[in-house]
Structure 1
Amino acid sequence: MKVIILAGGGGSRLFPLSRTLFPKQFLKLNGEESLLAQTIARFLSVVNPADMVVVTNQEYVHLVRTELIAAKAQDAHILLEPVARNTAPAVAFAARYCLEQLGCRADEILYVTPSDHIVHPVDKFAANVRQVIELAKQGKVVTLGIQPDHPETGYGYIQAGQPFGEGFAVQSFCEKPDQKTAEVYLAAGNYYWNSGMFAFTIQCLMGELAAYQPAVYALAESSLAEMTANFTEMPNISLDYAIAEKSAELVMLPITAQWNDIGSWDAIYDVLDKDADGNAVKGDCMPIECSNTLILGHSRLIAGIGLEDILIVETDDVIVVAKKGESQKVKDLVCELKAKGRVEADEHTTVYRPWGFYTVLGTGPGYKMKKIVVNPGEILSLQMHYHRSEHWIVIGGTAKVTIGDTEQMVHENESIFVPQTTKHRLENPGRLPLQIIEVQNGSYLGEDDIVRFNDRYGRA
């Protein structure tokens, strides 16, 4: 069996913690591990890291590599989608990769999973995976469902039909319902939340694509190189719409483990520990006479007085306040921010790069200040800027700096000036993180004012 972990999505429902450049799967919401690292860890009792394929994109590849190291799964494979085309093309791409690069046979089982859910305990989940394997061996498309305990409007539903092995034949897939319909589903007893997890053999997947998605199938039947070159021709369609809602071979296995897709701040509230008044609080927060309220602080003191059923999430550049039950509308907020061209929709003040990260400390007309941290042994691209100059002050470590044809070492408490339109490069040759303060001056300070001439990470 190969586990296909989908980690290319840029979800917006957990804004302001989740941003386009740092989406939900990389957040640490319920402990010291990211959701992606937790996903990897719960499959390690079933398969080896070399049997995992993480499907992502170039923008997130350095974040994925970091999480694989954290999960002690460096041998897992990373497959980069040429462009985002939703889950059905991503899974077909992974299947072709498994056939060509991993030497899989047509009867190899693929277990497809999102990378941003919470599932526990691991032993119960591993037992469910083994049940899935037995169903998939019979040529079935297996999906996993969760017995609902309340009328949730944020999930799709699966209607269970006649028993089939350890699970049920699927009678229908249902879109996210309104409150009244969700109450009907809960009362009926045979509707399950759709977990987004699927399993099937490669042969079964290809047969279903041929029957229901010939455009995806045609590309999936070509070579990996051809599929990569022509990936933009893929339709933008989810696995649910492409196959699950149409297949006559679909069976559903109820999960006995606890599951939460934490797709909203209401769901985050549900999984966090709470005080005697039902408040879930993290960070420097002071709730006074508050009840059933979520307060997540980051960079400042947050005091709440007399709040009830309120959600407050703060980062160093955004504060979101919402009534409980309304957090699904956070996605609408992000769409509005994108429409207005607001940078907050896409990135935090701290932005991760393959070489390390930077944090924007302040900005104004004609200037921007950053703290830049370069990991040991890493090097930025050889680059130049048309519209700005830069002044670097080393506050930790030692920098190896190239400016024009000159190369020199810059030590702690020393500084150097980078003129406008001059080729330059920053490198950390030491064993400690290099920390510098960068002051930019110019008429335009956007991140797209970078001309790269040479780059270790393939961005030139």
Structure 2
Amino acid sequence: MPDSFRILFRRPMKSIILAGGVGTRLWPLSREYYPKQFIQLGGPSLFQKTYERAVRLSGPENIWVVTNDIHQYLVRNQVEELGYTLNDSRLLVEPEGKNTLPAIGWALQRIREAYPHATAAVFPSDHILGEAALDQIRAADPVAKKYLVTFGVKPTSPHTGYGYIKQGKKLPLGNVVDQFKEKPDEKTAKEYVKRNYLWNSGIFLLSTDCFFAELKKYQPGLSGALGGGEDPDYGSLDAISIDYGLLEHSKKVAVVPLEAEWNDLGTFRALYETEQHGRDGNVGEAEYLAARNNYVHAPGKHVGLIGVSDLIVVDTTDALLVCHNRQAEQVKDLVTRLNQKNDPVTQFHRQVHRPWGSYTVLEEGAMYKIKRVTVRAGERLSLQLHHHRSEHWVVVNGTAEIELNGEKKLLRKGESTYVHSGMKHRLKNPGLIPLEVIEVQLGDYLEEDDIVRFDDEYGRK
């Protein structure tokens, strides 16, 4: 029987996808405005793979996605690319990040309002997960009636980047959790592996009844904020993970072994482990001479490694990372340092995605910046003006509808127009194919915060 028919007759469990993370440990591939879960490296993104997995488990009408304001249109666009529509009631946009417990609680509140006594699987949006996991998640449904279920992974190495779970009393499926262990040092990790501890996967199965009963017991403030029948006041909530805030306190937590491929892709070391290794353990296109166990990602570049081992080399159009494999966790510390310097290289790629399409910075210098602007069919930018820059637009593909101080005109391939500073303007793609425009900015200040919006279809200010 096809999966779609099984879903119809089974009253499927619900799915929650957490898609608000920024993936600092995979910089410079992952940036704040385009993090790792949305990156498409020659195929569907990790978020899209997670969404498809949730469709197979729950059906598209039973999926809730929690994200933030800067990523909500990436979520919408990537769901549409898969051929589905995510309506507003299923997309929960956090006004500010408060970690996983408020995010999961908000989604479960919405589910409980529509489907009392429901059970929901909770997926991070940036994990690799084998198909066998779906049957194991379904099989854990009876356990979730009495316990908060987390899924554990049998360690393949004494990894220091994961939390560990000590298993307690045996259940018909899985075990009661005896204790959660924080990320250990290597010596302690080896001991955990010997004692058959499990890695904490970050995937959960939660019934609304059990979750809210335990939340009221151990986090009464959050329980009250979620129980009023309205969306929570996020500003008043504490930022806390589900592990710290609930699972480590509750006596009703079970762990079910996840016997399927799994990787959280949290670091370049994890990414290295998932890729097919070449001769001498190297991964990536490069010339290797007396070099072993290296990871190279440098598309469009000729790379040579001589006499080095266990290196991570990641090159993008505007940033280069070189680090030792064992210190891949420290990439997040490097990002923190760059953030302290207010360096935008942690926020944006050269290609920046917007609700209407994207733009790519081709070149920039003192008093000028050149962009390639791509507008999806039927979309338009906000009606706006700039105080400090003028813009020259040249259409290189498609048809552009230009609005300048209230007057509209069409520009075709090869035609151009000039937008003075202080002039209200708007760009629209009225056609059926992507519109591409070269934009040359001139002025004494060229950053994105020099935008005054008067009308915007996407609710931006």
TM over 0.5: yes
CA distance in 2, matches of 1:75, 1:326: 39
Deviation of 1:265 (Å) = 0.4
Work out the CA distance in 2 between the residues paired with 1:109 and 1:355. Answer: 36
Q: Which residue pairs with 2:14 in the alignment?
A: 2
CA distance in 1, matches of 2:309, 2:188: 27
- Separation in structure 1 between the aligned mates of residue 255 and residue 62 of structure 2, nearest angstrom: 24
Which of 198, 211, 214 in structure 2 is aligned with 1:208?
Answer: 214
The answer to whether the 8 A contact 2:137-2:205 is kept is no
SS at match of 1:37: helix
State the AA in 2 paired with 1:414: E
* Pairs within 5 Å for 1:188-203: 188-189=195-196, 191-203=197-209
Aligned residue in 2 for 1:99: 112
Equivalences, count: 447
TM-score by length of 1: 0.95
Give the C-alpha shift of residue 72 in structure 1.
3.6
| Separation in structure 1 between the aligned mates of residue 303 and residue 401 of structure 2, nearest angstrom | 41
Gaps of 5+ in 1: none
Q: Note if 1:54 corresponds to 2:65.
A: yes
1:18 is aligned, of 9, 12, 30, to 30
Residue 150, structure 1, aligned to residue 157, structure 2: yes
Q: In the TM superposition, what are the counterparts of 1:334-373 in structure 2 within 5 Å?
A: 334-373=335-374
Residue 224 of structure 1 aligns to a residue whose secondary structure is: coil
> 1:70 is matched with which residue?
81
**Aligned mates of 1:15, 1:418 — CA distance in 2:** 36
Instruction: Quote the offset at 1:42 in angstroms.
Output: 2.1
Whether the 8 Å CA contact 1:215–1:235 is kept in 2: the answer is no
How many Å separate the matches in 2 of 1:318 and 1:287?
22
Instruction: Give the letter aligned to residue 427 of structure 2.
Output: L
The 2-side partners of 1:206 and 1:233 are apart by 19
Aligned counterpart, 1:265: 268
Q: Which residue of the partner structure matches residue 186 of structure 1? A: 193
Q: 1:41 aligns with which of 37, 43, 52?
A: 52
**Could you tell me the TM-score, scaled by structure 2's length?**
0.94
1:48–1:430 distance in 2 versus 1, CA, 3 Å:
same
Instruction: Report the AA paired with residue 113 of structure 1.
Output: F
1:360 shift after superposition: 0.5
Give the structure 1 partner of residue 93 of structure 2. 80
Give the fraction of aligned pairs with identical amino acids, expressed as a percent.
40
Q: What does residue range 367-386 of structure 1 map to in structure 2 within 5 Å?
A: 367-386=368-387
CA distance in 1, matches of 2:361, 2:405: 26
The secondary structure found in structure 1 opposite 2:292 is: coil
**Per-residue CA distance 1:343-363 (angstroms, 9 max, x = gap):** 101110100001100000111
Q: Distance in 1 between matches of 2:295 and 2:40?
A: 16
Aligned-partner SS, 1:161: strand
1:279 alignment partner in structure 2: 282
**CA distance in structure 1 between the partners assigned to 2:347 and 2:406 by the alignment:** 36
Secondary structure in 1 aligned to 2:193? helix
Per the alignment, residue 10 of structure 2 pairs with none
Cα separation, 2, equivalents of 1:43 and 1:424: 41
**What is the alpha-carbon distance in structure 1 between the residues aligned to residue 25 and residue 40 of structure 2?**
15
**1:303 CA displacement:** 2.4
| 1:97/1:224 contact within 8 Å kept | no
Aligned to 1:403: 404
Call closer, same or farther: CA 1:399–1:75 in 2, change over 3 Å.
closer
Instruction: State how far apart, in whole Å, the 1-side matches of 2:223 and 2:48 are.
Output: 31
Deviation digits for residues 218-256 of structure 1 (CA, Å, limit 9, x no counterpart): 11111224x2xx221111000001111011101100001
